[in-house]
Amino acid sequence: MSIRVLSHRDVHRLLPPAECAAAMREALTALAAGRIHQPDRRPVLDPPGAAGLLGLMPAYLAGDEPAYGLKAVTLFPGNTARGLDSHQGAVLLFDGATGRARALLDASAVTEVRSAAVTAVATDLLARRDARVLAVVGTGVQGRAHVRALAGVRGFERIRVAARDAAKTRRVCAELAAELGRPVEPCSSVREAVAGADVVVTATDAAEPVLRREWLAPGCHVNAVGSAVATTRELDGATMAACDVFCDSVAAVRAEAGDYLLALREGAVGPDLLRASLGEVLTGAAAGRSGPERLTLFESVGLAAWDLVAALHAVARAERLGAGSVVPY
């Protein structure tokens, strides 16, 4: 018996942003069709005094080539100061016919690439066709991945970035500009970055809102990616109330998303706020944007389904190319 191991670098090579977005379209469609099974709530072990937590994200894909996936992901906020990704761990892929462990992948890379790819699909589905200005809040792993993944979704003429640390924001913008071969503008505040923006991404680990309703231009599409737990949020209640809200999974948002749960608790929104899942919009079961002046929101929690399908694509490609390491098991 053997198992294929895909490192951080392998995953990035095997899942470039556009290909991962195509895989995430398949995942969204499969989830909307009921072919992916996953728990609504992710078991999390968060012991008092521990430096980080461990979350378990299992999923099953039914069909001709069934598969189980399990992401065991750790979240260590102190890692960023050490130059490490705050999200660590592994994705295990199992053959759905025999249960055999087929592959082990670096979870940091899978999480980074698949989250931004789902946002790229959401932006393509929900942002206005003539969107020209992109603003990304956050210069961490997700902020950078989102600039890379969204740069090609619309003909953006300007890409702006803001975060807490001005010097880091300038450095990250210079690195992304060199990588993408186009200007990426550092902004001194979130308000400055989002002024007049057509698409906004919040990808921070903030506990309190970083975005205010009054800063958003008419017709803006917002992707709320960070702070995806029940006790923290990036958006104020007024933004939640003003937007047509779409999500990766209605059940997951109701169980885990602080943007929604805290706005609900303070009475800014009602329980019927969530319009539809992205998969329902993609398959035509639900309508998306209803007018050029509407504010739309993609509330992203991040699902085991995305990890499973991203891993399946990376592993299938690795098997074709002979990539990664095959070790006895």
Residues engaged in binding ligand NAD (CB under 6 A):
80, 86-87, 111, 115, 137-143, 163-165, 190, 203-206, 210, 225-228, 300-302
Tell how far CA 143 is from the center of its chain: 10
Question: Among residues 14 and 211, whose Cβ is nearest to ligand NAD?
Answer: 211
Question: Among residues 163 and 235, whose Cβ is nearest to ligand NAD?
Answer: 163
* Bridge partners of residue 224, in order along the sequence: 202, 299
Question: Among residues 75 and 263, whose Cβ is nearest to ligand NAD?
Answer: 75
Question: Among residues 133 and 305, whose Cβ is nearest to ligand NAD?
Answer: 305
Contacts of 260-266 with C-beta under 8 Å, sequence gap 24+, read 260/299, 261/230, 262/231, 262/233, 262/237, 263/233, 263/235, 263/236, 263/237, 266/237
Structure tokens, 267: 């009475």
Distances (CA, A) of 229 to 44, 158, 193: 11, 31, 25
Closest separation in Å from C-beta 281 to ligand NAD: 17
Question: Among residues 2 and 80, whose Cβ is nearest to ligand NAD?
Answer: 80
Question: Among residues 5 and 53, whose Cβ is nearest to ligand NAD?
Answer: 53
Half-sphere exposure of 308 (CA within 13 A, CB side): 28
Closest separation in Å from C-beta 29 to ligand NAD: 18
Closest separation in Å from C-beta 55 to ligand NAD: 10
Question: Among residues 87 and 128, whose Cβ is nearest to ligand NAD?
Answer: 87
| 281: nearest Cα among 121, 151, 114, 59 | 121
Pairwise CA distance, residues 286 & 277, whole Å: 8
Closest separation in Å from C-beta 303 to ligand NAD: 8
Closest separation in Å from C-beta 284 to ligand NAD: 24
What residue number has its CB nearest to ligand NAD? 140
| 317: nearest Cα among 17, 70, 114, 15 | 15
Question: Among residues 163 and 310, whose Cβ is nearest to ligand NAD?
Answer: 163
Structure tokens, 151: 């740069």
Closest separation in Å from C-beta 112 to ligand NAD: 7
Question: Among residues 104 and 206, whose Cβ is nearest to ligand NAD?
Answer: 206
Closest separation in Å from C-beta 165 to ligand NAD: 6
Task: Give DSSP secondary structure letters for 229-295.
Answer: STT--SB-HHHHHHSEEEES-HHHHHHH-HHHHHHHHTTSS-TT-EEEEHHHHHTTSS-----TT--
Instruction: Tell me the pairing of strands 53-61 and 158-162.
Output: unpaired
DSSP three-state, residue 30:
helix
* CB contact at 8 A, 196 and 135: no
Closest separation in Å from C-beta 113 to ligand NAD: 10
Closest separation in Å from C-beta 243 to ligand NAD: 17
Distances (CA, A) of 268 to 5, 273, 285, 296: 47, 10, 28, 17
